[in-house]
Amino acid sequence: MKIAVFGCGYVGLTTAVGLAEMGNEVLGVDINPTRIEMLLAGKAPFFEPGMEEMMKRNLSEGRLSFTLDTPSAIHFGQLVFSAVGTPPKKNHEADLTAVLSVAESFGRFGSQGKIFVNKSTVPVGTSEKIRETIERNAMSSFDYSVVSNPEFLREGTALQDFFHPDRIVIGIEPDDLGVKKSMDKLYRPMIDSGVPIQYTDVRSAEVIKYASNAFLATRISFINELAEFCELSGADIKTVAKGMGLDKRIGNTFLEAGLGFGGSCLPKDLGALIEKGGALGFDFKLLKEVQKINKRQPGRMIQKLKKHLTQLRGKTVAIWGLSFKPKTDDLREAPSLELITSLVKAKCKLKVFDPVSMMNMKNLFVKNPTVLKSLSFSTNPYDALKGAEALLIVTEWDEFRNPDYAKMKSLMSGDILIDGRNLLAPKEAREKGFRYESFGRILLSDNVAPTKNHPTKRNVSGRYHLIVKKNPAVRE
């Protein structure tokens, strides 16, 4: 099929490259000339595993190309995908300018039978706005369809998610059988490999996307709230999450406690859903709490640091990981930003390391010399530790999972280790001499230690050894 994909960001580029790999002829469109130049030269504008290789292959085999030329892209595409951004406005409402601009071009340059496939994340009811815009700008009469086809791609595994999605959701007008045929044809390879496809009405498809991300965010805030409770009650959050996750109704994903969720989707979509609720006179009380819990996680890390360093001024702190999650260089809504800003405000010197996102961090703070002056970028994780009083683990990159504790100790001037992603084994970290703090983890031995009111001891085989208090009155 001939396909035009508008927007060459994460979603658009993954969609364009994936559809080309499936044998379609794809033209990616973007308004940014530098980006188009890069793409035509076979360079991906962001880090995503496998992307550049697959893009280059499809470019050289002639199934994929990129252009700035909107009219010819609309002429080219039998299917016209919108994968442009819908960034949040000040009030968190999704900004539809870019989507409606694609709709405007579709109206002006469209022709008989073309299908507008919306992959941009948009609030419920946007499809009607797209249709209005197409019709307002049409220069001639033609039959067309508007489809809502939300994406569920995760950064870092975007291509894998494209080819092996859990489901394909397609919102269509109930009687539009022609469009169903085209979408079935487009997704045939996936349907044949067993991926479920759900046809819905357009509005429900739009809500499915927001509801899915809001639910994932809710799970994360739930487990983070429970982690705080575990810290107070002496239970271990990882053990609790594992036990919960073994229940098939619950499952074990999105139950990792820590610094919370960031990225380009979860925070934005949660905000946009709450805002849309408000616009319709509905108050999403639960989701507002989810937001609040997430916002307090970076502050919790600083509290843990303050437990050991009462005075932060002038202290050197190392940070491992900057991106909002591993396998991406994306810093959008990353907890590292809030942490860095707060620590710089408290006059700390920061030594940071991230495998791929340090350049993005430099560019981000280029207009904030106060922050930039306090940051030093290290060439490897251990380099960041030289002279540091504390290490904060912020992103769960695999290379931080099995650190050389002896080397760490020899390089650091202090022994504070705060694990914002619960990566390390608490017992081992403490045995290696670190004052280790986590998000809701305990040492197994912590909660069986005898207390003043409960003097029970354990014998060598681990069984409880009862100590009867001498109380002659009771004996008689």
Residues of this chain that interact with ligand UDX (CB under 6 A) are 151-155, 213, 216, 220, 254-256, 258, 260-263, 265-266, 324-325
**Which residue lies nearest ligand UDX, judged by its C-beta?**
265
Give the up-direction half-sphere exposure of residue 327: CA atoms within 13 A in the CB hemisphere.
12
Q: Following DSSP, what letter does each residue of 315-338 receive, concatenated?
A: -EEEEE--SSSTT----TT-HHHH
Helix (H, G, I), strand (E, B) or coil at 131: helix
Q: End-to-end CA distance of the chain: give it in Å, rounded.
A: 93
DSSP H helices, 346-465, are 358-364, 369-374, 405-411, 426-431
Q: Measured from the CB of residue 328, what is the shortest distance to ligand UDX in angstroms?
A: 7
Is 265 known to be catalytic? yes
Q: Measured from the CB of residue 294, what is the shortest distance to ligand UDX in angstroms?
A: 9
- 70 vs 297, which CB is nearer to ligand UDX? 297
- 220 vs 408, which CB is nearer to ligand UDX? 220
Q: CB–CB of 118/147 below 8 Å?
A: yes
- 151 vs 338, which CB is nearer to ligand UDX? 151
Q: Measured from the CB of residue 330, what is the shortest distance to ligand UDX in angstroms?
A: 8
DSSP H helices, 193-308, are 202-233, 237-245, 266-279, 285-295, 297-308
Q: Measured from the CB of residue 235, what is the shortest distance to ligand UDX in angstroms?
A: 18
Q: What angle do CA 339, 424, 292 make, to 5 degrees?
A: 35
- 57 vs 295, which CB is nearer to ligand UDX? 295
Q: Measured from the CB of residue 260, what is the shortest distance to ligand UDX in angstroms?
A: 5
Give the Cα separation of 2 and 8 in Å (integer). 17
Q: Measured from the CB of residue 393, what is the shortest distance to ligand UDX in angstroms?
A: 12
- 254 vs 284, which CB is nearer to ligand UDX? 254
Amino acid, res. 375: L
Q: CB–CB of 109/32 below 8 Å?
A: no
Give the Cα separation of 304 and 307 in Å (integer). 5
Q: Measured from the CB of residue 458, what is the shortest distance to ligand UDX in angstroms?
A: 34
Helix (H, G, I), strand (E, B) or coil at 411: helix
- 253 vs 310, which CB is nearer to ligand UDX? 253
Q: Which of 373, 383, 380, 323 is nearest to 348 (CA)?
A: 373
- 222 vs 405, which CB is nearer to ligand UDX? 222
Helix (H, G, I), strand (E, B) or coil at 391: strand
Find tokens 């991300």 and name the residue: 213
Question: What are the catalytic residues?
Answer: 265
